[in-house]
Chains A and B, each alone.
Chain A
Amino acid sequence: AQSVTQLGSHVSVSEGALVLLRCNYSSSVPPYLFWYVQYPNQGLQLLLKYTSAATLVKGINGFEAEFNKSQTSFHLRKPSVHISDTAEYFCAVSDRRNRDDKIIFGKGTRLHILP
């Protein structure tokens, strides 16, 4: 069964700094991987997804993530964060071999940007 672990439930960084949000997955084969963002009082929206051979995935709002098979990781980063990036971020995984497989979400990392 697929699973994801997000390291750090809360992360605080200063505006303009680099941020790295960590996600490790458990799967016997390379899965589909996703990062979602949830702004306060809103639903989740997709930031980026990994579904193919390209290991560096670029998403919206300047975010990117790198798929690392040997470390079973899919960490999310942004070189220079803005106050508007304050939100909760969720890593998610699904089994690419099974069309009806369900996406499994991590418990989330709350990102706080300091002015």
Chain B
Amino acid sequence: NAGVTQTPKFQVLKTGQSMTLQCAQDMNHEYMSWYRQDPGMGLRLIHYSVGAGITDQGEVPNGYNVSRSTTEDFPLRLLSAAPSQTSVYFCASSYLGRDEQYFGPGTRLTVT
């Protein structure tokens, strides 16, 4: 099993550009989530999904959109990138929301 995969590993955007961070898992997990990690802030939940077709907002959802059309994929879209979105983004999945989460390797995003 590949586990949780994320692409790209690195990305540089200009302010105002849009892009999609890809996340996929092959463990048939129902629950998937996106976090951002910033120094001293720990992990902050952006959006999550408890199953295909169901998504909800986390702690810091502004400026991001998600959709879940399949169990395997959970892409994160930045609508109009801002320097405040410079961060490391992690995707994670689990059987249930309360269970141990399996993390992808992360995407390091810089917005100039």
Q: How many B residues face the partner with a CB closer than 8 A?
A: 26
Residues of A within 8 A of B90 (CB): 43-44
Verify B33–A102 contact, CB threshold 8 A.
yes
Q: A44-B90, A102-B45, A103-B98 are in contact. Are A9 and B50 (CB under 8 A)?
A: no
Q: Is A32 an interface residue (CB 8 A)?
A: yes
Check A100–B100 contact: CB distance below 8 A. no
Interface of chain A, helix or strand or loop or mixed? Answer: loop
Measured between alpha carbons, how far is A42 from B90 in the docked complex, in Å? Answer: 10
- State how many residues of chain A have any CB contact under 8 Å with chain B: 24
Q: For A96, what are the chain B residues with a Cβ–Cβ distance below 8 Å?
A: 98
Inter-chain contact A46/B106, CB cutoff 8 Å: no
Residue of B nearest to A43 (CB): B103
From the candidates A41, A46, A105, A107, name the one contacting B40 in the complex (CB within 8 A): A107
Candidate in B43, B92, B105 with the most chain A CB atoms within 10 angstroms: B43
A30 / chain B contacts, CB cutoff of 8 Å: none
Residue in A42, A45, A100 whose CB lies within 8 Å of B96: A100
Q: How long is the Cα–Cα vector from A44 to B104 in the complex, in angstroms?
A: 8
| Contact A95-B98, Cβ < 8 Å, known A43-B104, A102-B48 | yes
Q: A94 touches which one: B42, B97, B105, B106 (CB < 8 A)? A: B97
Q: Are A94 and B103 in contact (CB-based, < 8 A)?
A: no
Residues 82-96 of B, flagged 1 when their CB comes within 8 A of A and 0 if not, give 000000001010101
Query: A residues bordering B, Cβ < 8 Å?
Result: 9, 32, 34, 41-46, 49, 90, 94-96, 98-103, 105-108
Known contacts A43-B90, A45-B103; 11 additional CB pairs below 8 A are: A43-B4, A43-B105, A44-B92, A44-B103, A46-B100, A94-B99, A95-B98, A99-B96, A102-B97, A103-B97, A107-B40
